[in-house]
Structure 1
Amino acid sequence: MTQEDSAAPVRSGDAVEADVIVVGAGPAGSTAATWLARRGLDVALLEKARFPRDKVCGDGLTPRATKQLVRLGVDVSEAAGWKHNVGLRTYGARREPFHFPWPELESFPNYGLTRPRADFDHLLARLATDAGAHLYEDTTVSEPILAGERIVGVRAKDGRTFRARVTLACDGNSSRLALGMGLEKNRKRPMGVAVRTYYRSEARTHDAWMESHLQLWDGEPGRSHLLPGYGWVFALGDGTVNVGMGTVSSTASSQKVNFRDLLNTWVRNTPPEWGFTPENQIGGVGSAALPMSFNRKPAYGRGLLLVGDSGGMVSPFNGEGIPYAMEAAEMAADAVADARSRGFGTPAAERALEGYASRLSAEWGGYYRLGQVFVSLIERPEVMALCTRYGLPRPTLMKFTMKMLAHLYDTDDGDWMDKMLTSLSRMAPSA
């Protein structure tokens, strides 16, 4: 993959000029660049690293993310390197697990996927360049270029400049670009933390289920102390598994907890046949923040659109961010293409761009607000213990809960659960 090529957007002096600048080539940025390029816009996609590069992630994708890949035209077959899964296996309050198959719906496929983020992000970046976007690797954006209050481009750390009528911030939780525009995070919104590592494990690598552990023990299960958070084991099908743990707080208050140590403590007490031992570990333990529930606003203003983690689009229900990043990317591309058709710089174009933020709020605002209430309840140990002990054994209740947590229900039709969840999301005030 080349950093720059002869077909790149027009240069004017030392500046690259394009219709749109996309900062960050993760799932949000590369997906946005793909949809924008397919709509005929000149796109400069800026990435601070060089592919392939890794990101901290569980590597597990629910059917909601699977749908976005299918929409993009990605071959998600196992022959193409994807590991399919049929649902979620959950451990909690008893030795035997509970199994929750992905629901059969009109709106979403009935299978999930796993694939390492290093490979996943590289694939999406190639998809963007194949669509006609122009990728600039090793390009760290240091600040926005302003004309009055409006962003008209960005400056890279090495001095290069890129100019466009519209810019997308897809640069993650810390979002240097959003901060440069004076957009701070709302610390009263939920914030999660995730840590993960990889193990070689022939015993677990071909598992057909994504696996979660709601109770993590620092010794023998049931006879030791509970650790904060939840754990996961996601099979990758290539001889390895992604093993991690996460926690969520109803606010972004500092949590002085060493999550790497907690992960190691839990892993030491997993069954020996799983092979989660130091000699089987691949690489170290990585960590990442999970910004939730629109914790940075506005999603559009002064020529800048926030997409994915930069706008706090991680679900507070399950810590999933990739499907929302990809969905928001397509919404952003729709708004930008509409703005171009109306004439960049006109009041009509500005209204089209403002429609991006309105659409996000209409799509997820109520659902995220319900998620904030959910987080405020489960972060209380006594509530979580009651839910685990008395909720999990009730199949109908848990089917309803899993549809809610995974955001997998038909909004236009469906069964009574789908209709109830749709009604609840629509009645809740927007986050």
Structure 2
Amino acid sequence: MSLPSSTDVLVVGAGPAGSAAAAWAARAGLDVVLVDAAVFPRDKTCGDGLTPRAIGELQRLGLEDWLRAHTVSKGLRAHGFGQTLHLPWAVPGSSLPDWGSAVARTELDDHLRTTAIKSGAQAIDGARAVGVRMEGERVAAVEFRGSQARTSTSEGRGPDSDTFEIACRRLVVADGVRSPLGKMLGREWHRDTVYAVAGRSYVDSTMSDDPWISSHLELRDEHGDMVSGYGWVFPLGNGTVNLGAGTLATSRRPAEVAIKPLMQTYADTIGDDFGLSGELRMPTSALLPMGGAVSGVAGPNWALVGDAAACVNPLNGEGIDYGLETGRLVAEMLASQEHLGEAWRSTLVEHYGEAFSIARRLAGIATVPRVVSALGPAGMRSDWLMTLALRWMGNLVDEADRDRAARVWRWAGRRSMARDARPPFS
């Protein structure tokens, strides 16, 4: 079967955002082609954790039974400054599920892509977007390179030449944090707001079945100096854990820590407590734009979603949930209206602007180690403050929530937005 030459909706990038967009658009009856540069299954630098917000989106896709066959977490165990707190996902006032999980991205992304295919999308892997053909301000087609490109319905070779083109009426750009296709369309990342440099690895652990994910809020380098960031241990239920560390930075206070050595120091520090053994395997790192710190997120017939639109929580680095959400939201817009442009940017601002604004302001404060050292001990001594922090940092405020914590968060977001020199997505 030959590769398609045209489609109604072309989705570039088959991570959570792209696969969700493809699945929902196909279920709405649209003709969808989903293309990715990698050959699946493929790995992705990530903590692999799934918060209740992500669980809710996966439930919408019909994947709850599949998820429950994996590890199920009760909540977050927070460590730091001589304290350990257990903070359940079941937070009073939240409308989100009361459980979380962790699935390696090699498996999660492959399953989500398969879900999109079963929903009716045609998938192509091994094809990288290398150019765009425009008609005025609209995208007419995307050019791909990949002589071994494969469709989901054929194991055959791609076209005779290395490059081929797919014409489209609408384009969804879901090609990750670097978003090379987004850059071709004018996407710009603004580093004056907080961003993260994060790394992850896998290591054997006797706590692989631990019902709590762990986060260490007091992260130190090999010299014992405080680092502006956090470490995590996410049990995978298969004899291993995902162990990683991230540092926060801005253009004024850039990250100057080597992530892989920092992960090793972190593992050495907590190894006995978590029953770690063996070497850190598959260490990788990534630079994360966060909090909507990009402009050029949409045009007349194209839109950026997920990591490509910097939809990453500045307080915890979580992006899977926003990827799944923005994939669903853009599919709803594709099914209901022809023009994207300002409508999609406004949708992102409406759903995430206030929360991203206040979160990146708070995360910017956390880039100063002495502030973390001063405030951390007081915060960790208060279950009430840390429960609020979990609610806000863990994306556990849903639009349906009307309790006091949710109202305070929205109020702070509105005040923050009003003071932003460059609000999210602008």
User: TM above 0.5, one fold?
Assistant: yes
Cα distance change, pair 252–76 in 1 and its aligned pair in 2 (3 A):
farther
Aligned to 2:108, which of 91, 97, 120? Answer: 120
Tell me if structure 1 keeps the 8 A contact 2:55–2:100: yes
Does 2:215 match 1:215?
A: no
Structure-1 residue corresponding to 2:40 = 51
Aligned to 1:188, which of 186, 192, 198? Answer: 192
Cα distance change, pair 181–252 in 1 and its aligned pair in 2 (3 A):
farther
Aligned to 1:111, which of 65, 79, 99? Answer: 99
Aligned to 1:285, which of 274, 283, 286? Answer: 283
Q: By how many angstroms is 1:184 displaced?
A: 2.1
Task: From the two aligned structures, give the one with the greater strand fraction.
Answer: 2
Aligned to 2:18, which of 18, 26, 29? Answer: 29
* Cα distance in 2 between the residues matched to 1:78 and 1:323: 14
Q: Amino acid of the residue matched to residue 289 of structure 1?
A: L
SS of the aligned residue for 1:19 comes to: strand
Aligned to 1:390, which of 378, 381, 388? Answer: 378
* Cα distance in 2 between the residues matched to 1:426 and 1:414: 16
Q: By how many angstroms is 1:410 displaced?
A: 4.7
SS of the aligned residue for 2:317 comes to: coil
SS of the aligned residue for 2:247 comes to: strand
Q: Amino acid of the residue matched to residue 53 of structure 1?
A: R
Superposed CA offset, 1:213-237 (max 9, x none): 1113456xxx944344211111001
* Cα distance in 2 between the residues matched to 1:228 and 1:361: 28
Tell me if structure 1 keeps the 8 A contact 2:354–2:410: no
Q: Amino acid of the residue matched to residue 375 of structure 2?
A: C
With normalisation by structure 2, the TM-score equals 0.89
- Structure 1: which 5+ runs fail to align? 340-348
Q: By how many angstroms is 1:48 displaced?
A: 0.8
Q: Amino acid of the residue matched to residue 12 of structure 2?
A: V
Farther off after superposition, 386-395 or 64-73: 386-395
User: Sequence identity, in percent?
Assistant: 34
Tell me if structure 1 keeps the 8 A contact 2:188–2:296: no
Aligned to 2:364, which of 376, 385, 402? Answer: 376
* Cα distance in 2 between the residues matched to 1:337 and 1:127: 19
Does 2:246 match 1:246?
A: yes
Q: By how many angstroms is 1:385 displaced?
A: 1.2
Q: By how many angstroms is 1:273 displaced?
A: 6.1
Tell me if structure 2 keeps the 8 A contact 1:205–1:235: yes
Tell me if structure 1 keeps the 8 A contact 2:298–2:345: yes
Residues 6-17 of structure 1 correspond to what in structure 2 (within 5 A)? 11=4, 16-17=5-6
Superposed CA offset, 1:59-112 (max 9, x none): 1111011111001111345653x2110111111111x41111111445200111
Q: By how many angstroms is 1:238 displaced?
A: 0.9
Does 2:83 match 1:84?
A: no
Cα distance change, pair 418–256 in 1 and its aligned pair in 2 (3 A):
closer
With normalisation by structure 1, the TM-score equals 0.88
* Cα distance in 1 between the residues matched to 2:334 and 2:221: 50
* Cα distance in 1 between the residues matched to 2:188 and 2:125: 27
Tell me if structure 1 keeps the 8 A contact 2:203–2:243: yes
RMSD: 2.1
Does 2:52 match 1:63?
A: yes
Tell me if structure 2 keeps the 8 A contact 1:244–1:263: yes
SS of the aligned residue for 1:178 comes to: helix
Higher relative contact order (CA 8 A, sep 6+): 2
Structure-2 residue corresponding to 1:205 = 208
- Structure 2: which 5+ runs fail to align? 146-161, 418-422
Q: By how many angstroms is 1:302 displaced?
A: 3.6
Residues 280-319 of structure 1 correspond to what in structure 2 (within 5 A)? 280-281=279-280, 283-319=281-317
Count how many residue pairs are aligned between Structure 1 and Structure 2. 402
Structure-2 residue corresponding to 1:337 = 335
SS of the aligned residue for 1:332 comes to: helix
* Cα distance in 1 between the residues matched to 2:256 and 2:119: 44
SS of the aligned residue for 2:163 comes to: coil
Does 2:346 match 1:358?
A: yes
* Cα distance in 2 between the residues matched to 1:292 and 1:327: 16
Q: By how many angstroms is 1:308 displaced?
A: 0.8
* Cα distance in 2 between the residues matched to 1:113 and 1:156: 35
Tell me if structure 1 keeps the 8 A contact 2:172–2:302: yes
SS of the aligned residue for 1:18 comes to: strand
Superposed CA offset, 1:304-350 (max 9, x none): 200011111111121111111111111111111112xxxxxxxxx32
Farther off after superposition, 169-178 or 147-156: 147-156
